[in-house]
Structure 1
Amino acid sequence: MNIAFFSECYHPTLNGIVVSIDTFSQYLRRLGHRVHIHAPYYRGYHDDPPDVSRFPALRVPVVPQYPVPIPVGPRIAATFIHRRFDVVHTHSVFALSHVGASLAERTDVPLVSTFHTMLLDYLHYTFVPEQMTRPFVANLIRRYCNHCDLMIVPTAQVSDFLRKLGVVTEIQPLPTGIDVEFIRGGDRERVRKALGLPLDRKLLLYVGRLAREKNVTFLVDAVMHVLREHPGVDFAMVGEGPLKDDIREQVGASRLASRIHIVGGVSFEEVRDYYAAADIMTFASKTETQGLVVGEAMAAGLPVVAVRATGVSEFIASGEDGFLVDENPGAFVRTLSALLSSDSLRSSISTRARCKAQQFSAEASARRLEKFYQVLIASRKDFLQGSPGKRWGDHGSAAA
């Protein structure tokens, strides 16, 4: 198959959407398919392979890592048609996805979209009052999703969210798979040397955006309390975001500045080094569709302590292969303290977490996505030939 991806964000930005695109495209190619990625242009970034096409884009000062694409130009449709794609797969509901949808309709190929982000939890980034933007964004989501032939969601909880918005198109849950062996190839010593930590010192870790929607203020407050109780523990935060300077200021005003390492953004290859270097993963976001970093941490053998919420709760069986706690500082602190105080508890949770992560292999997820595409293409051909076509339930294994 020849597959066209459209995404509002791509390298050099690194987030869950980009990791998902990279993982699925890599494994689909291993299965013998071609994947071409369409994304905005990032000023100064020139490391794209030939299978990436960039659209002109405007850099927005508030969120510079997410340039706004300007998908216009006479060559867009001609180039797309020349490549003869079999399916279009979009990864947002915004401008580039609408371009992808239009081109799918023009060339009469199936349109698939993955709903990666709980957009209604990100309205604080707009300049318009939320009571005005919420109905507009909800309507945008509903109309775009209902234009697609298939919506993919990372978890069943996200499917419920879309149904409540009025999405009636077919929805199939398919989490982004994890390249388990790659994640487990991290360099523990490199990171510990860079942070100035001996190999036997405990290290708590957070990986993700430093932003309001990730609930990092709650997390930093709770972890600082833990550090005061456990003098032999450090904390590393890996990621960028609008709250980075606020966190630096908060940490700098405490007596814990030397033990809290605000690393900033790193490459995906380096992220796995931080998983290898850490002893416990912490996570407090309540807005995840999947919480991919939680699965990656589990694959690396890290016990995870997370706030109980959509997405992450489908990764973790609390008390068995990690811990889910209510958004209560005392409960979060007590759970972290219990793990830090017991080598045997950390070891047993680590073993079960590594085992659990095997269920989310990237190859298995790519094979399911391949089957979804095949079902849609076959149904489209049936329709064009005047046959009634088949429903999703008729294909059985596609949804298995």
Structure 2
Amino acid sequence: MPYNIAMISDFFFPQPGGIESHIYQLSTKLIDRGHKVIIITHAYAGRTGVRYLTNGLKVYHVPFFVIYRETTFPTVFSFFPIFRNIIIREQIEIVHGHASLSSLCHEAILHARTMGLRTVFTDHSLFGFADAASILTNKLLKFTLSDVDHVICVSHTCKENTVLRASLDPLMVSVIPNAVVAENFRPLSYTSNEHSNSVVSPTESNHRGGPPLAHRFGPHDTITIVVISRLFYNKGTDLLIAAIPRILASHPNVRFIIAGSGPKAIDLEQMLERNVLQDRVSLLGPVRHEEVRGVMVRGHIYLHPSLTEAFGTVIVEAASCGLYVVCTRVGGIPEVLPGYMTEFAKPEEDDLVAATGRAIARLRQGKVRTEFFHNQVKQMYSWTDVAQRTERVYDGISGVLPHDEFYPGTGVGAGGGWSATRGRAGVQSFALIERLKRYYGCGIWAGKLFCLCVIVDYLLFVFLEIFAPRARIDLARNWPKKSSDAGKENERDGDLAMKDAGGVGRKRGARHHREKRREA
């Protein structure tokens, strides 16, 4: 059945990144499957108010103050009036939040539960348990996820991390990975052939008359290593800065191309000046997502030195472009690609240098069949599959799927505190007393504070229902969907809908004047 869904996060286009791409691609595929999807995020430079993207995807840019790395200042309650207005206008049924560090996401889930809406949370990151920032983030996550219907993680490692951080029942967490639009990440010499779906060694290839041997690089041929990443500590930029001089010293015919921006960019530039490596390392600065493929196809190896990563969409994009991947064995990265596409290293300088050396040697010996990577990645990852699995989560939390089918092997009431507060269909109860019970169990002092927040949020909701009744809020027109029967009539209505986004459509106004002239 079709749903009206609101995707909410601080992180969305025009800022590039894995979360931003995930939200856009998932929303687009859900629209293709007949659902209505809107996106709520904060305002970016030059983008405030309502914007329409392709395929009828509507984006609300809320003008909130941004404090750090595109995250808005947490206000808890001031977002509620705007959020309620949008939800009622768009007739939203499911609120889907993304990212642990998104203030809008946490506030939206709290307000949505107060309004009696189904909620889903997708976690895209890994966090520790010892430092102060992680402790505060984990407590906030426990507050939000105490009263959410379902949680999605992008890898099994991410699921284990989220379950421990938020004290969740593992049955309430699904693993749905990211994907990639393989057609947008083709190698320069892309050709589809019948052998591309199997892994063939060079020796086997010659014996059975298969495709020719992989390209061998001569000892004097240049091998280019590509790095595309935000230049932050958690992305392993310090590790990269330490490893580059050693890699270039050991391999005189190797070059680097580095794209990205961040606070560590100045350290990277200083390293190049100290070692006089400007002629062997190209710094491109920030690149848009649509430019990523153009950078990747200039290289042969993709280096990903991240210190923590829940999934790592960029390494899937690199493999799709035909690059051999060198990456650290951290987080969910080992789950992403098969072993023959990657060379793993510990998140240490010596091991990263050694792994990069092994990758260079394998390429020079022709032991890696990178020309087959694209078709294999295309079969492994699909946004249509991600949308179908996410749709099943929506069916489960809405009660469309029976409880035993959505949570196989369990009965109603099994599985601890989560399941005990669910009805026959296995969905979370909206009763205020049940919600307070769940929040109260979050800690001796934190539980009481969380309960106070929920009570204030509920009173604010009652106040808004009385003094800003729903009857005064105009309902937004849905984006018209083309069908084979409607033809030109639906096409005309779609044109009017785009014009009406900023005011009264010119076509509708012209038709009105023609009717007036006929009456005269």
1:212 aligned to 209, 220, 233, which one?
Answer: 233
Structure 1: where are the runs of 5+ without partners?
122-129, 189-199, 383-387
Q: Deviations over 1:344-393 (max 9, x none)?
A: 546425535751452122221111112211222235xx9xxxxx955623
SS at match of 1:143: helix
CA distance in 2: counterparts of 1:302 and 1:378, whole angstroms: 44
Shift of 1:322: 1.1
2:308 aligned to 283, 287, 290, which one?
Answer: 287
Where does residue 116 of structure 1 map in the other structure?
124
Where does residue 86 of structure 2 map in the other structure?
79
CA distance in 2: counterparts of 1:48 and 1:265, whole angstroms: 24
Paired AA for residue 41 in structure 1: A
SS at match of 1:365: helix
Where does residue 168 of structure 1 map in the other structure?
169
2:323 aligned to 293, 302, 307, which one?
Answer: 302
CA distance in 2: counterparts of 1:99 and 1:137, whole angstroms: 14
Preserved CA contact (<8 Å) 1:227 1:233: yes
1:285–1:357 CA distance, 2 compared to 1 (3 A): farther
Preserved CA contact (<8 Å) 2:326 2:359: no
1:73–1:309 CA distance, 2 compared to 1 (3 A): closer
Where does residue 97 of structure 1 map in the other structure?
105
1:186–1:32 CA distance, 2 compared to 1 (3 A): farther
1:56 correspondence with 2:56: no
Where does residue 10 of structure 1 map in the other structure?
12
What TM-score does the superposition give when structure 2 sets the normalisation length? 0.65
1:337–1:164 CA distance, 2 compared to 1 (3 A): same
Shift of 1:201: 3.9
Preserved CA contact (<8 Å) 2:256 2:280: yes
SS at match of 2:341: coil
2:385 aligned to 364, 383, 387, which one?
Answer: 364
Q: Which moved more, 1:33-42 or 1:321-330?
A: 321-330
What TM-score does the superposition give when structure 1 sets the normalisation length? 0.83
Shift of 1:339: 2.9
1:328–1:284 CA distance, 2 compared to 1 (3 A): same
CA distance in 1: counterparts of 2:346 and 2:371, whole angstroms: 21
1:23 correspondence with 2:37: no
Cα RMSD after superposing both structures = 2.8
CA distance in 1: counterparts of 2:241 and 2:189, whole angstroms: 25
Percent identical residues: 22
Report the structure number with the largest CA radius of gyration: 2
Preserved CA contact (<8 Å) 1:298 1:354: no
Paired AA for residue 83 in structure 2: I
Matches within 5 A, 1:1-400: 1-45=3-47, 48-49=51-52, 51-60=58-67, 63=68, 65-68=70-73, 72=79, 74-93=81-100, 94-120=102-128, 131-165=131-165, 166-168=167-169, 170-184=172-186, 201-318=222-339, 320-341=340-361, 342-345=363-366, 347-349=368-370, 351-352=372-373, 354-356=375-377, 358-379=379-400, 390=404, 392-394=406-408
Preserved CA contact (<8 Å) 2:7 2:96: yes
Preserved CA contact (<8 Å) 1:289 1:311: yes
Q: Deviations over 1:30-58 (max 9, x none)?
A: 22222100001123346942600011222
Preserved CA contact (<8 Å) 2:310 2:331: yes
1:250–1:45 CA distance, 2 compared to 1 (3 A): farther
CA distance in 1: counterparts of 2:189 and 2:276, whole angstroms: 29
Structure 2: where are the runs of 5+ without partners?
191-220, 411-520
Paired AA for residue 168 in structure 1: D
Q: Which moved more, 1:88-97 or 1:18-27?
A: 88-97
CA distance in 1: counterparts of 2:293 and 2:175, whole angstroms: 26
Shift of 1:262: 1.7
Paired AA for residue 154 in structure 2: P
Shift of 1:286: 2.3
